[in-house]
Structure 1
Amino acid sequence: MSSSSPFPSLPVCQITIPSNDLINAAYFYTKEHTSEATVNHCLRCAAFSLLFIREFPPLASAPIDLEAVVLSSLMHDMGWSTTKSLLSTDKRFEVDGANIARDFISRNAAESGKWDAHRIQLLWDAIALHTTPSIAQHKQPEVVAVALGILADFLGPNLPLPGNPITVERYKEIVGAFPRAGFSDELVDTLCGLCRDKPQTTFENFVSGFGKTYGLDGKGGGKEEWIKTCEDNEITKRLMGGLQACKQWDD
């Protein structure tokens, strides 16, 4: 790992986010294409992941690809990129982020031989599944660590997990090093914007809930219409409606 790290040491936590040429390049790429609030969120998530890797029993005893964890954490919200040309019009933001990260690694590291298909898939899975902990927790340790680190940024010391390593003191140090910078407001604006601009990508995940709560503009606008749209696209209705329509061909 490089000694010219762009990341500060965290003496209370006794961790430093690993740094090398690829990680640094990913960090600056993320800074170029996302907001300050998103970058700091990703850095906090990386730091929290490192605490889980060191101290959470299921991870502490496992061999961990730290580079994959840090890169996945840094790039996991590229699906919120402010550079709209990087984004699709028809994919969930998690998939956009995973694809952008995979393409970045393929451009910058695949030829080195250190990033084979397995490691790239590991990175893709960690990003694509980071909002689905019920699945991520059954994947590789790296995927688990990334999902836990991201969840910890929302729940901190209140994360209901036995052996949660995020103490109040550690939490305050990490947030102090990488301030929230309006992250809560930006989160609402971003996810409500997905409901408005890519509604078909939000019906099967938590994103639609932001539109139900905050409307399509983050201020309550269009909320009732959005709730009706979600009800019409509810998966149970779609599945049962499909079965009903197929009855004409059933034996």
Structure 2
Amino acid sequence: MTGTLSDIKIPDSRIAREAAELVRQYESELLFNHSVRVFLFGAMKGARQKLKFDPELLYVASLFHDLGLVDAYHTDSKRFEVDGADAARDFLRGHGIPDPKADLVWEAIALHTTPGIPQYMRPEIALTNAGVLLDVIGVGYDEYTPEQRDQVLAAFPRGENFKNDFIQAQTCSALKKPLTTLGTVNFDYIHQHDPAFHLPGACALIRNAPWRT
């Protein structure tokens, strides 16, 4: 878990090592490797754009961003992103990290699947989102050299069937608490699994509001 890829050093502080150990204990290799790739791709983009960001905070945000998908951190009523964000903030607070930094990581994780907002926020938030978008759906793929992409995949492989396995992991989480997918991209995992499933849309919610008019 230590080393440098394309001039990006994987953080090796005590907090970074313990964060990796905790996440690795609960996540599958699929999710863990994805999480480290998110950090590397996000940090590469940050370096390319000459952004000032905290690599350790970006690393923790990347590591924890999908932890809400695993049973140990699953709640019945929160979006999986919030479950992971809560876990990361608790971890950082437990290591004496002040609230402004812990809250920054919380925001990066909670917003990592939200379209159209993270890229305008602080670098740690924007870069977590950028790393996710590249690794999952290829946004910004050509901004990285083939050598950069190959180095990252050699160190943290996608596996033989990442796309379908990742969809399956997301679908399993969404099916456990479908109401948390209302208004989010996570609803698509359920709809892909069961096209007949419906949640109330914005118009239905407005019309059913308790106001008289």
TM-score w.r.t. structure 2 length? 0.91
Name the counterpart of 2:202.
Answer: 235
How big is the shift at 1:126?
Answer: 0.4
Equivalent position of 2:104 in the other structure: 122
**Counterpart code for 1:147:** N
User: Which letter maps to 1:159?
Assistant: G
In the other structure, the counterpart of 2:66 is: 77
Report the Cα distance in structure 2 between the residues aligned to 1:188 and 1:66, rounded to whole angstroms.
28
Confirm whether residue 32 of structure 1 aligns to residue 11 of structure 2. Answer: no
Deviation at 1:47, TM superposition (A): 0.5
Structure 1 gap segments, 5+ residues each: 1-5, 216-222
Amino acid corresponding to residue 9 of structure 1 in structure 2: T
Contact 1:191–1:211 (CA under 8 A) maintained in structure 2: no
Q: Which of 153, 165, 171 matches 1:192?
A: 171
Aligned-residue sequence identity (percent) comes to 28
Change (3 A) 1:133 1:66: farther
**Count of residue pairs the alignment pairs up:** 212
Per the normalisation by structure 1, the TM-score is 0.78
SS in 2 for 1:134: coil
The structure with the larger Rg is: 1
1:176/1:236 CA distance change after superposition, 3 Å: farther
1:9-158 to 2 correspondence within 5 Å? Answer: 9-10=4-5, 13-56=6-49, 60=50, 62-81=51-70, 84-107=71-94, 109-110=95-96, 115-156=97-138
Amino acid at match of 1:224: P
**Distance in 2 between residues matched to 1:155 and 1:7, nearest whole Å:** 27
Q: Which runs of 5+ in 2 are unaligned?
A: none
Q: 1:70 deviation in Å? A: 1.0
State the alpha-carbon separation in 2 of the partners of residues 50 and 193 from structure 1: 29
Name the Cα RMSD after superposition: 1.8
Distance 1:195 1:73, change over 3 A: closer
